[in-house]
Amino acid sequence: MKKDLTLSSLLLFFACSAGFSQTPDSTAMKFAPVITAEDAKKHLSVLASDEYEGRETGKEGQKKAAKYIADDFKKIGLVSATDETYLQKFPLVLSTPAGADLVIGGKKYENNKDFYVLPYGKPLTMEAKRILFLGYGISDAKYDDYKNTDVKDKVLLVIGGEPISEDSVSFISGKKELSDWTNSYRKKSDLAKEKGAAALIVINENFAGNLELMKHFLASPSLKLEPDTSKEKTVGPVPAEKDQKKKLPQVGISVKTANEIIAPENLDALIKKIRSTKQSVSFEIKSSFELAVSSKEDKIYSENVLGIIKGTEHPEEVVFITAHYDHLGVRDGKVFNGADDDGSGTVGVMEIANAFEKAKETGSAPKRTLVFMTVAGEEKGLLGSSYYTNNPIFPIEKTVCDLNIDMIGRTDDHYKDTVDYVYIIGSDKISTELHKINEHANSTYTHLKLDYKYNDPNDPNRFYFRSDHYNFAKKGVPIIFYFNGTHEDYHQETDEVSKINFDILAKRAQLVFYTAWEVANRKDRIVTDVVQEKEKK
Ligand SMILES: [Zn+2]
């Protein structure tokens, strides 16, 4: 609620001084229609075809997509921001899981058969002389396993889920519906980490089923930037992301394995005891614990694609229009084409670039420089944009804003009856002027419903932190994130070109075009004026 106070007073002020002309800009209106559904479809039908293999960062399909975009930038007349390739190359470390050893009380268990370890990023070895059985590993008003127990540096063994009564009523929720202690896979490990535990072993009643579900995930390599800049401090006046805690090593085991570890105790008996007394049960197990996780590391490269149109009056001031062109690749032989995520944003950027270039060719070049950048590594943790903002080609101080497009070709469940909407996220967080410009562009030209539902950084979906604009915001650059919301095909192999609504894609891209047009051509550079209180940890 702190945001509203600051903002409403600022909005009042700017309502009188934003300085928009009353008449629509006829030049902008002449070139916005260069952005067409047909053109967008032509490009997307290539980029989101099986031939591009789901454009996974570092893989062949991604490089092919980079080439396609770079060739198009060149063809339409954009100038490269780097060399003749239009690419900004960046180094990554690819870590491939190479096995894990678990020995408890002298008995060796087999990885991905008797146990699994949740990805911990780095290789790891740890040892402990004892294991602490700690009930369900829950700390709640109605039931608390941590009460009067010091878990610091200990390896905890806990039962998955939460305690329930004979008639299936949760001790925590007081209803049949289970709480987040069951539903969130992170809640217990976050708490254990917070309490200073060294590792968490979770007893999994449906161990075999879960192992099957996670098979792909457990074998997946992870990517990070080299050097890793993801922990970079926020410098801009921007809501700071809550500290993403380093994850605790978490081992999943079956009931059978658990019974071997806790013998002569027995899990069923312990659950019954907790059920009848409504009290936690905890005890020390005099078994040693050894865990070793290894991975193979390779250095690879990926690429951002950049094309520019130089400004005529303030060429040093740059306006970014971005989208990520990478997606999830191929899994179990299925190509994840990512037509909406974020093929739609990628072709949106290409179309907007084309419209500005056509305007330039007929004597209406922008006053400020426009940078069209499609980035890779987004799906792996916003890596391409993190690399760019930490290795900028144009000074960050001269970067006017980033208009980022991530998914604009579909509609979500909320908008079943109307497609003429777009979610706007972050527009008011750094520059009130930018927010007003976007609203004015929409009310003058595109007439979409601008939905601010996800604009709150505290929204549980955390969309504000989940696409590439965030790396610009972290540096204090004003941003807008254009988004259609998630849908049933989000991050599924069914995110296909056939499901894209190209008319609405083009219309949303036109809104970005009009906003960019105003930002690039107005007399004065937009100012940064909103200073946010840092989010509480
Ligand atoms: Zn995605």
What are the tokens at 269?
């008996």
- Ligand 1 mean position to 439 CA, how many Å? 26
User: CA-to-CA distance for 87 and 306, rounded, in angstroms?
Assistant: 6
Three-state secondary structure readout of 165-187: CCCCCECCCCCCCCCHHHHCCCH
The helix or strand, by DSSP H or E, that contains position 252, with its residue range, turns out to be: strand 250-253
User: CA-to-CA distance for 258 and 338, rounded, in angstroms?
Assistant: 41
**CB-CB contact of 155 with 202 (8 Å):** no
- Ligand 1 mean position to 338 CA, how many Å? 8
- Ligand 1 mean position to 54 CA, how many Å? 11
**CB-CB contact of 48 with 337 (8 Å):** yes
The residues, ordered by sequence, that sit 6+ positions from 279 with a Cβ below 8 Å of its Cβ are none
User: CA-to-CA distance for 216 and 493, rounded, in angstroms?
Assistant: 14
Peptide bond just before 227 cis, omega within 30 deg: yes
- Beta strand pairing call for 199-203 and 250-253: parallel
Q: Residue 352: name the closest of 368, 334, 370, 364 by CA.
A: 370
- Ligand 1 mean position to 512 CA, how many Å? 20
- Ligand 1 mean position to 219 CA, how many Å? 20
- Ligand 1 mean position to 327 CA, how many Å? 6
- Ligand 1 mean position to 240 CA, how many Å? 22
- Ligand 1 mean position to 241 CA, how many Å? 19
What are the tokens at 35?
């952005």
User: CA-to-CA distance for 187 and 193, rounded, in angstroms?
Assistant: 10
pLDDT in tens, the chain (537 residues): 223 333 433 443 444 445 566 689 999 999 999 999 999 999 999 999 999 999 999 999 999 999 999 999 999 999 999 999 999 999 999 999 999 999 999 999 999 999 999 876 678 899 999 999 999 999 999 999 999 899 999 999 999 999 999 999 999 999 999 999 998 878 999 999 999 999 999 999 999 999 998 888 888 888 999 876 655 555 544 555 554 556 789 999 999 999 999 999 999 999 999 999 999 999 999 999 999 999 999 999 999 999 999 999 999 999 999 999 999 999 989 999 999 999 999 999 999 999 999 999 999 999 999 999 999 999 999 999 999 999 999 999 999 999 999 999 999 999 988 899 999 999 999 999 999 999 999 999 999 999 999 998 889 999 999 999 999 999 999 999 999 999 999 999 999 999 999 999 999 999 999 999 999 999 999 999 986 544 433
- Ligand 1 mean position to 531 CA, how many Å? 29
**CB-CB contact of 532 with 237 (8 Å):** yes
Query: Around Cβ 436, how many Cβ atoms within 10 Å?
Result: 22
Instruction: Please give the model's pTM, rounded to 2 decimal places.
Output: 0.81
User: CA-to-CA distance for 440 and 447, rounded, in angstroms?
Assistant: 10
Q: What's the Cα-to-Cα distance from 433 to each of 41, 75, 399, 510, rounded to whole Å?
A: 33, 34, 15, 19
The residues, ordered by sequence, that sit 6+ positions from 301 with a Cβ below 8 Å of its Cβ are 58, 89, 90, 91, 92
What are the tokens at 352?
């907007």
Supply the Cα-derived Rg of the chain in whole angstroms.
26
Q: What's the Cα-to-Cα distance from 116 to each of 100, 217, 219, rounded to whole Å?
A: 8, 11, 11
What pLDDT, on a 0 to 100 scale, did the predictor assign at position 237? 47
- Ligand 1 mean position to 309 CA, how many Å? 28
Three-state secondary structure readout of 10-45: HHHHHHHHCCCCCCCCHHHHHHHHHCCHHHHHHHHH
User: CA-to-CA distance for 200 and 204, rounded, in angstroms?
Assistant: 12
What pLDDT, on a 0 to 100 scale, did the predictor assign at position 268? 96
Which residue pairs from 358-362 have beta carbons closer than 8 angstroms and sit at least 24 positions apart in sequence?
358/31, 358/34, 359/27, 359/30, 359/31, 360/77, 360/309, 361/77
- Ligand 1 mean position to 490 CA, how many Å? 7
User: CA-to-CA distance for 245 and 354, rounded, in angstroms?
Assistant: 42
User: CA-to-CA distance for 495 and 478, rounded, in angstroms?
Assistant: 30
What are the tokens at 495?
């995110």
- Ligand 1 mean position to 341 CA, how many Å? 5
- Ligand 1 mean position to 100 CA, how many Å? 29
Q: Residue 345: name the closest of 514, 520, 506 by CA.
A: 506
Using one digit for the tens of pLDDT, what is the confidence trace for 127-143? 999 999 999 999 999 99
Using one digit for the tens of pLDDT, what is the confidence trace for 468-508? 999 999 999 999 999 999 999 999 999 999 999 999 999 99
What pLDDT, on a 0 to 100 scale, did the predictor assign at position 17? 44
Write the DSSP string, 341-381: IIIIHHHHHHHHHHHHHHHHHTT---SEEEEEEEES-GGGT
- Ligand 1 mean position to 527 CA, how many Å? 31
Q: Residue 309: name the closest of 355, 393, 369 by CA.
A: 369
Q: Residue 437: name the closest of 482, 480, 373 by CA.
A: 480
- Beta strand pairing call for 199-203 and 155-159: parallel
Residue with token string 């908008």: 415
> Between vectors from CA 531 to CA 525 and to CA 534, what angle results, nearest 5°?
145
What pLDDT, on a 0 to 100 scale, did the predictor assign at position 400? 98
Give the HSE-up count for residue 451: Cα atoms under 13 Å, Cβ half-sphere. 16
Q: Which domains does the chain have, with CATH numbers?
A: 25-94+300-420+427-447+479-521 (3.40.630.10), 107-287 (3.50.30)
Q: Residue 357: name the closest of 487, 173, 349 by CA.
A: 349
Give the HSE-up count for residue 228: Cα atoms under 13 Å, Cβ half-sphere. 11
- Ligand 1 mean position to 491 CA, how many Å? 6
What pLDDT, on a 0 to 100 scale, did the predictor assign at position 457? 83
- Ligand 1 mean position to 297 CA, how many Å? 24
- What residues form DSSP beta bridges with 201? 157, 251
